Amino acid sequence: MARPERDPLHWLSEARGSELEDFAAALDPAEQREWRWTWAIWARKSQLAPPGDWRVWLVMAGRGFGKTRSGAEWVTAVAEQHPEARIALVAANLAEARAVMVEGESGLMAIGAPWRRPVFEPSLRRLTWPNGAQALLYSAGEPESLRGPQHSHAWCDEIAKWDNAGGRAVASWDNLMLGLRLGDRPRTVATTTPRAVPLVARLLAEGKDGGIAVTRGGTFENAANLPAAFLRSVRRTYAGTQLGRQELDGELLTDIEGALWTRALLEQCRETAATGPLPPEPARPELARIVVGVDPPASEGGDACGIVVAALAADGTARVLADASVRKASPERWARAVARAAQAWHADRVVAEANQGGAMVGSVLRAAQLALPLKLVHASRGKDARAEPVAALYEAGRVRHAGTFPELEDELCGLVTGGAYQGPGRSPDRADALVWALTELMLGRSAQPKIRMT
């Protein structure tokens, strides 16, 4: 196939219309049929498997980088080159394996030459290519499903999102690796947005000794294929924040020395996939009492107003249900946000810090027609001192997060024992709201659970 005298991996992105027309015209019919499906021509270098004798290729990059496309193209190449291939496709759950890895816009059914695409049999969780290569779908939430099956290759998607409760993520990975024993050169690709979870930390540590190739990258590397409005929005909202460093720049955020919360601790406290995030429905008998913690901003247009919903269950454990915080809000706006959260979750009480004008806080909340008990609390100790007993509840396994709350969790990880706050923003408003809510539920006089009558 004739090609211009330029890097074959990048010339298409730079070529003008006439150059493309001339190039296509010079191809023979077979080349014209294939060239648009040749991934090595269209891909960025960082989306191609690295050279070397690696057994695991870890693609750890920001959202929109093209991780899914990289994994799907790698699997497609393996299947087309090796008819005997038996490939494992592992996601956080079977629904995501199908929706993202198989049927997604960058999934296996959407890429590659149409005449070589696999047939998908949902009832069997199986894809079969025309040459006989096969792939099976698995859920990382069911480690035992990977005990026994043998594979030659594997693609594991969003491994940082796999359920860490009870060591499920690591168990799934280990069972997969022990079954990766077909063929002469078993290999695995793992694609993920970075999060400091045990499995990712382990792979990075193992990579220092060889055998694991790591590709890092950010969202803006793929700017040519992303909407300009999306890029402007995320840059304006998240640039320079910890969330932006992780989700856009693909940076793995490590723990701060002396932090009251670590990311590993928060992952251990995450609600299991089997239970899932709790919906805003009052009819849950295990939730005996629900409160909304509020940390009002000191000034309009300044810090965020922290609004966190938490519940106490009849077994004495607590659930963090929602982070409804709002940024740069007027008193009327954040008061309405508090009222909405209280109404949506059928809260029993609102607990609000009143150091910044207690009378004003109370009047603003009541003006928002907040028709439920309001408790104003005053901070007599520093933020870290107030947070320490709450952090101890996490360490004791008495608090669960019913979902993922990135901005709240970033602030928790920035609270340091006996030191200044080191997290994002000027003040841990969301973390303060959580501390007030959990203190009311578990450390105050009314911490004993009571079954509500309806």
Domains and CATH numbers, the chain: 11-42 (no CATH), 45-247 (3.40.50.300), 263-443 (3.30.420.240)
Is-contact 138 63, C-beta < 8 A?
Answer: no
Is the pLDDT at 281 greater than 50, yes or no?
no
Q: Is a pLDDT exceeding 70 seen at residue 318?
A: yes
Tell me what pLDDT residue 91 has. 97
pLDDT tops 90 at residue 420: no
- 438 pLDDT exceeds 50? yes
124-167 tens-digit pLDDT: 999 999 999 999 999 999 999 999 999 999 999 999 989 877 78
Whether pLDDT at 279 is above 50: no
- Checking if the pLDDT of 3 tops 50, the result is no
Whole-prediction pTM: 0.66
Torsion angle of alpha carbons 238, 241, 245, 247, nearest 10°? -50
The pLDDT tens digits of the residues spanning 336-367 come to 898 889 989 999 999 988 766 445 666 777 77
**What pLDDT score does 285 carry?**
42
Rounded Cα–Cα distance for residues 190 and 400 (Å): 28
DSSP string, 8-22: TTTHHHH--HHHHHH
Beta partners for 216? 60
- Structure confidence at residue 257 as a pLDDT band (50, 70, 90): confident
